[in-house]
Amino acid sequence: MASSLDSFLSKCTTLSLPHTKQLHAHLFTTGQFRLPISPARSKLLELYALSLGNLSFAILTFSQIRTPSTNDWNAIIRGFIQSPNPTNAFAWYKSMISKSRKVDALTCSFVLKACARVLARLESIQIHTHIVRKGFIADALLGTTLLDVYAKVGEIDSAEKVFDEMVKRDIASWNALISGFAQGSKPTEALSLFKRMEIDGFKPNEISVLGALSACAQLGDFKEGEKIHGYIKVERFDMNAQVCNVVIDMYAKCGFVDKAYLVFESMSCRKDIVTWNTMIMAFAMHGEGCKALELFEKMDQSGVSPDDVSYLAVLCACNHGGLVEEGFRLFNSMENCGVKPNVKHYGSVVDLLGRAGRLHEAYDIVNSMPTVPDIVLWQTLLGASRTHRNVEIAETVSRKLVEMGSNHCGDFVLLSNVYAARERWADVGRVREAMKNRDVKKVPGLSYIEGNGVIHKFYNADKSHESWREIYAKLDEIRFRVKEYGYVAETSFVLHDIGEEDKENVLGHHSEKLAVAFGLISTSEGTPIQVIKNLRICGDCHFVIKLISKIYDREIIVRDRVRFHRFKEGFCSCRDYW
């Protein structure tokens, strides 16, 4: 009787509450509840804790067991994974050990999953120690779970070490590390692992390509991304909306918004809200404000209601396109459409007005917000003050940021630049002194460019590249040629305590200029040059690269921290509005 009940319950995924209580009563009356090991009793606990979501009653039932088995403990620990307090799983695990109950590989796996939910780094490391000590490390499924947790808590080196030490790997273990690298800002490693996966005989699945495409998007590696897209089409993974969404995002972030839209238009699966939002944001990043607005309207007409992300994307599009009135109209219509504006939407409107030079209106909106403005919002207003050289508002905003405890280098640099633009050198010196006293470090400019399958990285005034002499020679040639077109270095934002020639050298050796120069000497004529920069492109670099695109007849695509700039024939896609 007991064996047939166990067999029935092993196939059972859920029971109604009345039936579960009948099972409970049956186990009591037949004595099975009191057995040292009772699969039916463990299943009863699972039903209460997982299927019925009544963890408190499962714990009460557990407390009535004289000597709980490992599976009984595991049932409760599993319940905590999906509970509002997953960290309690670790407390139960410790209690289990302290009472000398036998922990198995499943116990460790369940606790690790709870750790993953709350990103419990220290607890994950402790459990890893236990896994090694108890000899469970050879378990492939447990190894994959451990690897996945390390990747999620940001311990990428530990995740890689677990992967390398695994005796047996499965497709999940490969995917976990690829995703971990991609999410942990190690895109180069993610792509390398993706290629190694195929060499080792593992066929990439939908999860694999999601991680690899994310890495391509971060690197701006269009060639590799296009290859992966080809594989997706062969394997028919493009029937999955999530995969299509990531393909769209990849093409957009690699600088090819038209290819992104082609994927969007040709999707054979149903477009979800993420699909629409991704494409609207793609247009926004590329300064295609009118196209983003058109798509936003089309989304609503197609029966997909815009959410808060949709409004944020279309407001960003209005920002980059200079569509001030359209952006205002959309912002004011949000609540009527059932979407409550949050601090990011307010920040976008402040940015919209600030870019247009309507600083006092932007400042009034910040002060009249129903929620407390955050640091980012004030920084947005400070950036606009710098663009329009408004000392009064810049000083007011800077005081607000200091009051809020901000110690970001960009805040000081922006205020310093506002003073420098007005040639208030004493104030520039005061700001720079404050940076030294607070030990504020300026984020170094950094640019990437791909060449022959290799990602080349440049810092400002970098001479570490093997071709640095040729790069600097090309920069000298560029400097000479752009002056023939009337270029004068914009030195007003460079520190005033160095000579004018030194100021020109500082500007002339910005990371994006080094990357573009490398692109000119390392690629054939007519080939587009793609650069990714970690900060916003400066005004001087923007003007120079426009001239380079005309002089050398090259299309140059620069993705900075905010948006794309596509330079062609002496013009930029941003129309000098960024």
Q: Which of 270, 296, 321 is at the close of a domain? A: 270
DSSP state string for 489-557: --GGGS-TTS-HHHHHHHHHT-HHHHHHHHHHHHS-TT--EEEEESSPPPHHHHHHHHHHHHHTT--EE
For residues 149 and 247, state if they share a domain.
no
- 156/163 Cα distance (integer angstroms): 10
For residues 164 and 194, state if they share a domain.
no
For residues 458 and 499, state if they share a domain.
yes
Run of H or E residues at 455: strand 454-459
- 259/127 Cα distance (integer angstroms): 46
For residues 189 and 255, state if they share a domain.
yes
Q: What is the pLDDT of residue 501?
A: 54
Q: Which of 270, 301, 325 is at the close of a domain? A: 270
- Say if 285 falls within a structural domain: no
Mean pLDDT value of segment 474-493: 85
For residues 476 and 538, state if they share a domain.
yes
pLDDT tens digits for range 181-197: 998 888 999 999 999 99
- Say if 409 falls within a structural domain: no
For residues 187 and 157, state if they share a domain.
no
Q: Which residues fall within 8 angstroms of residue 114, CB to CB, at 6 or more apart?
A: 77, 80, 81, 86, 87, 89, 90, 120
For residues 90 and 59, state if they share a domain.
no
User: Residue 34: which domain range?
Assistant: 1-67
Dihedral over Cα of 297, 302, 307, 309: its sign = negative
Mean pLDDT value of segment 402-415: 81
For residues 55 and 101, state if they share a domain.
no
- Say if 277 falls within a structural domain: no
Q: Which of 168, 202, 219 is at the close of a domain? A: 168
For residues 63 and 95, state if they share a domain.
no
Q: What is the pLDDT of residue 304?
A: 92
pLDDT tens digits for range 132-165: 888 888 888 888 899 999 988 889 999 999 998 8
- 515/464 Cα distance (integer angstroms): 13
pLDDT-based confidence at residue 9 (cuts at 50, 70, 90): low
**CATH number, domain at 211?**
1.25.40
pLDDT-based confidence at residue 476 (cuts at 50, 70, 90): very high
- Say if 564 falls within a structural domain: yes
Structural domain count, the chain: 4
- Say if 310 falls within a structural domain: no
- Say if 510 falls within a structural domain: yes
Q: Which residue has the tokens 């999707």?
A: 267
- 498/425 Cα distance (integer angstroms): 12
pLDDT tens digits for range 337-392: 899 999 999 999 999 999 889 999 999 999 888 888 888 889 889 888 888 889 99
- Say if 342 falls within a structural domain: no
Q: Quick one: tokens of 237?
A: 């993974």
Question: What is the DSSP code (8-state) at residue 441?
Answer: P
Q: What is the pLDDT of residue 14?
A: 60
Backbone phi and psi for residue 454, each to the nearest 5 degrees, phi listed first: -115, 135
pLDDT top residue among 70 and 11 = 70
